[in-house]
């Protein structure tokens, strides 16, 4: 064994990268099969494939989050907080979820002023929105709303759905967003919340840090994923 031997975390990161590429190939193949099934009128197969495709997109997003957290932990992520068009960032996140949104017939409403600009890391915030959208796609009945506004000197990004909302125990826990544990019954690890919370905290201005909160209500009465960037 030498000092140049790859570390365990480096090995895991390399494996995650390979898995991400493999999942991407599988997603594209599944989407083609789903299109073919719908074209020949096999709606039962199409509906089953849509569920699998949605979960595959979530897996892919989780792998990207893990790689991002690895780079942040190693201090090798090139954090680039610059002025960005918020509408463009929202559009980019929507583009990455468009196929599964269309497959599931979900109505997406975007409420974001075209002239809204903010200082942020475009790739990381796109990842945060993608995480929120993947959650909303999984839990919504048929509607998702993305709202962006500047309130009290901070940018608020809200992703809302018309699902059942977050359970009470999550809403009343002070540490649920940043340190949510593993739920062996549902398979939830809290990775998405942790990733989004860490990204929000990286955005700082005049002694204030960004934050992630969750609540119920919003325009549709379901779950609300809220990111505040100073």
Give the residue carrying structure tokens 């190693």: 74
Question: In this predicted model, what pLDDT tens digit does every residue of 63-121 receive, in sequence order?
Answer: 888 888 888 887 788 889 999 999 999 999 999 899 889 989 999 999 999 999 999 99
pLDDT score at 20: 81
pLDDT of 201 > 90? The answer is: yes
d(CA 230, CA 187): 33
d(CA 37, CA 20): 25
Going across the sheet that includes 143-151, the strands are 107-111, 143-151, 154-161, 222-229, 211-217
Could you give the 3-state DSSP secondary structure of residue 32?
helix
pLDDT score at 188: 52
CATH of 81-230 among 3.30.413.10, 2.160.20.10, 3.40.50.720, 3.30.565.10:
3.30.565.10
d(CA 128, CA 173): 21
pLDDT of 61 > 70? The answer is: yes
């Amino acid at each position: 064994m030498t000092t140049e031997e790859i570390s365990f975390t480096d090995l895991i990161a390399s494996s995650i990268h390979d898995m991400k590429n493999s999942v991407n190939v599988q997603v594209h193949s599944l989407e083609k099969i789903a299109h073919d099934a719908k074209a020949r009128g096999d709606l039962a197969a199409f509906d089953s494939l849509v569920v699998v495709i949605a979960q595959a997109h979530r897996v892919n997003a989780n792998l990207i989050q893990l790689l991002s957290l690895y780079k942040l932990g190693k201090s090798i992520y090139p954090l680039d907080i610059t002025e960005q068009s918020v509408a463009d960032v929202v559009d980019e996140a929507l583009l990455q979820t468009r196929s599964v949104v269309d497959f599931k017939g979900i109505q997406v409403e975007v409420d974001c002023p075209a002239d809204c600009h903010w200082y942020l890391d475009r790739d990381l915030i796109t990842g945060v929105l993608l995480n929120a959208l993947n959650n909303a796609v999984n839990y919504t009945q048929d509607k998702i709303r993305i709202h962006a506004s500047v309130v009290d000197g901070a940018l608020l990004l809200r992703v809302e759905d018309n699902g059942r909302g977050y359970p009470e125990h999550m809403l009343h826990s002070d540490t649920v967003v940043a340190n949510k544990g593993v739920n062996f019954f549902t398979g939830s690890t809290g990775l998405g919340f942790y990733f989004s919370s860490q990204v929000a905290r990286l955005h700082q201005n005049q002694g204030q840090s960004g934050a992630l909160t969750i609540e119920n209500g919003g325009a549709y009465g379901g779950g609300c994923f809220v990111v505040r960037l100073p």
